[in-house]
Amino acid sequence: MRVAAIYDVHGNLPALEAVLDAIHQAKVDQIVVGGDVLPGPMPRETIGRLLDLDIPTQFIRGNGDREVLAQMRGDMLTVPEQFQAIIRWNAEQLRTEYEELLAGWPETTRIQIDCLGEVLFCHATPRNDIDIFTRLTPEGRLLPMFDGLNVSVVVCGHTHMQFDRRIGGIRVVNAGSVGMPFGDPGADWLLLGPEVQFRHTAYDLTKAAERIRATRFPQAEDFAARNVLQPPSEQEMVEAFTNAGLK
């Protein structure tokens, strides 16, 4: 069993297309989409591409997907005001049947993978989809939320940076982000089984930026410049998340 874990696509269809090509070449048996397919510049096209896959695929819901779903349902948003315009725009792009689709995505899933044992996939942490931690977060702060899981490996995302660390007796790996990585431009993902392989897939960033700018996404220019062509450095974001993360 070889499983590809793709997280935090954020509607970046060109990045997703490149990763899916790499996944097909790797001959994986299953794909886990680890949340935050949304929001982003090409939401409808991105979900459509994932639903058309010819490889068995499981989805879990991230905080971005949850907020778009809340907007579709007319519920109150919990994101800061500066992000609400993109949530509203994403919800407007989706057909009504996608509401039921997003509502059906679970918060976590478990898969038995050769040589790794039972692997738990969550978006941020096993307890919720918004906790922030990095490779530098002290283990003592994390032990309570990873206690009693009875798994050998946990795969997470949310902070858009790959890492590999231990929390208690559990190996915790972050898949990074397909659509909005921090660090080197490109697309990050994981290949699991029989080992954990961190993958980084290059794609045509200039062409991708042009496609994103051609959308009506409210932050298209910023997304193209800051999330595709020249993402923030890993060091910059580790420092920012360390200050804003678990206390």
For the record, the structure tokens of 89 come out as 């725009």
Helix intervals (H) in 123-214: 139-146, 205-213
Q: How many Å separate Cα 63 from the centre of its chain?
A: 10
DSSP secondary-structure letter at 125? B
Phi-psi region of 170 (alpha: psi -120 to 50; beta: other; left: phi over 0): beta
- Using the structure block, give the residue that is written with the tokens 């798994």: 151
pLDDT at residue 100, as a whole number: 96
Q: How many CB atoms lie within 10 A of CB 220?
A: 17
Helix intervals (H) in 94-196: 97-103, 139-146
**Cα separation, 126 vs 108, whole angstroms:** 7
Element (H, E) at 198: strand 196-201
Question: Using one digit for the tens of pLDDT, what is the confidence trace for 161-179?
Answer: 999 999 999 999 999 999 9
Q: How many CB atoms lie within 10 A of CB 230?
A: 11
Is residue 22 pLDDT above 80, yes or no? yes
Residues in the chain, total? 247
Question: Using one digit for the tens of pLDDT, what is the confidence trace for 29-85?
Answer: 999 999 999 999 999 999 999 999 999 999 999 999 999 999 999 999 999 999 999
Q: pTM for the full model?
A: 0.96
Average pLDDT over residues 143-164: 96
For the record, the structure tokens of 4 come out as 């590809």
Task: Of 4, 2, 6, 88, give the one whose Cα is nearest residue 46.
Answer: 6
3-state helix, strand, coil in the chain (%, to 5): 35, 20, 40
Beta carbons within 8 Å of 125's beta carbon, 6+ residues apart: 131, 133, 142, 145, 146, 156
Q: How many CB atoms lie within 10 A of CB 232?
A: 16
pLDDT at residue 245, as a whole number: 63
Domain count, the chain: 1
> Are the C-beta atoms of residues 86 and 219 closer than 8 Å to each other?
yes
CATH number assigned to the domain comprising residue 109:
3.60.21.10
Q: How many CB atoms lie within 10 A of CB 138?
A: 10
Q: Which domain holds residue 77?
A: 3-244
